[in-house]
Amino acid sequence: MATINDNYLKLKAGYLFPEIARRVNAFAQANADAKIIKLGIGDVTEPLPQACRTAMIQATEEMGVSETFKGYGPEQGYAWLREKIAHHDFQARGCEVDADEIFISDGSKCDTGNILEIFGNNNTIAVTDPVYPVYVDTNVMAGNTGDAKKNGEYEGLVYLPITAENNFTAEIPGEKVDLIYLCFPNNPTGATASKEDLQAWVDYAQANNSIIFFDAAYEAYITDSSIPHSIYEIEGARDCAIEFRSFSKNAGFTGTRCALTVVPKTLTAKAEDGSDVELWKLWNRRQSTKFNGVSYIVQRGAEAVYSQEGKEQIQQLVSFYLENAKIIREKLTAAGLQVHGGVNAPYVWVKTPNELSSWDFFDKLLNTCNVVGTPGSGFGAAGEGYFRISAFNSRKNVEEAMKRITEKFKV
């Protein structure tokens, strides 16, 4: 008889965003005339940059000519794209990252889950709370946790609260952990980490032989020159960190799919016999075995991000969403709500008023203002009493949503 992976049965009733969709669909069916504005998921709305579109059109034409047609590409990504990433995103910031340490993929969401395949099931794993749900759920699926507790936390994980009391900066754990998930600029709180904060994490990881999984998907939104864009700007990070990046939130590739993971060749972990094993070799083998690479057309589009025209157009996109975040932040603050984030990040983290629960506030905004956000409790126990609003939408929708909230919603 065929059996299943019982770890999937540990997962809570529904992934956060499908549950949001269920509630919104039910409301829409009961209120056919309601004009719902969705500021929930972090999906971009503005068109792909012209430079990327032009490059992909040219690449498509190349696929129609025998002399320039491309079949299977390298699973790690084409060298010309990896070289540009290494130069512009890392080496230009003083980071020691070589092109062959970069692996092109179809999404950092995929990579942050797939990376677990090269690690054992006996690691102690730390996640921030609130946290991007994929980090937790993929560990549940992989068998790295126990069952879910009543507050939503899973047995076997070490939770690091990110709260107003600690300025939304994850505190170093008082115990030894092996794998650490960090995301800065943070999803969902919009908080950032200073160089001193990240140095403390790197020092901890080196002292404890830990590995940091550093999700830098939103680094393009950093406008403060004192805030690091990469973990590799921190001394010693090459020996203890893997970094994940994406073209989704800077270049609008959410529907186009292209991302990257950096695994330094100096990074090692222990085998069962106590020997040191290079993680680069394991990840390279995993990708070569289970992944056929991102399409040539998409990689040409990603390469165009680094052209002069591409850089200018990307900056315009990022500035557009940051202006949305500013509007959200200022309007909600004026409405009397306690607001965090939205400065060096595209997310605004709102304290729910009048001691409303996260889901009660979700329902109230939906029913009163026909505006959708994301309940903070969906990101973890410490997210209860908070609410995430995304700046990824049109200016018209953002302004209308804020108008409705300030006019109809009373704190």
SS3 state of residue 30:
helix
Tokens at 94, concatenated? 């003083």
Q: Cis omega (within 30 of 0) on the bond before 185?
A: yes
The CA distance from 102 to 245, in Å, is 10
Binding-site residue numbers for pyridoxal 5'-phosphate are 72, 108-109, 132, 187, 218, 246-248, 257, 292
CA distance readout (Å), 200 to 174, 194, 235, 370, 403: 13, 10, 10, 43, 42
Binding-site residue numbers for substrate are 15, 42, 109, 132, 187, 292, 388
- Residue 53 CB contacts under 8 Å (≥ 6 apart), including other chains: 47, 301
The CA distance from 46 to 316, in Å, is 11
Q: Pick the closest to residue 364 from 393, 341, 344, 337 (CA basis).
A: 337
Q: Which residues pair with 104 in a beta bridge?
A: 260
* β pairing state of 241-246 and 259-262: antiparallel
The CA distance from 161 to 158, in Å, is 10
- Taking 3-state DSSP, the helix, strand and coil percentages for the chain, each rounded to the nearest 5, stand at 45, 15, 40
- Residue 355 CB contacts under 8 Å (≥ 6 apart), including other chains: 385
Written as one letter, the residue type at 118 is I
If you search the block for the tokens 């909600």, which residue do you land on?
332
Which helix (H) or strand (E) segment is 213 a member of? strand 211-215
Binding-site residue numbers are 15, 42, 72, 108-109, 132, 187, 218, 246-248, 257, 292, 388
SS3 state of residue 171:
coil
Q: Pick the closest to residue 102 from 232, 13, 289, 271 (CA basis).
A: 232
Within 13 Å and on the Cβ side, how many CA atoms surround 29? 6
The CA distance from 3 to 341, in Å, is 45
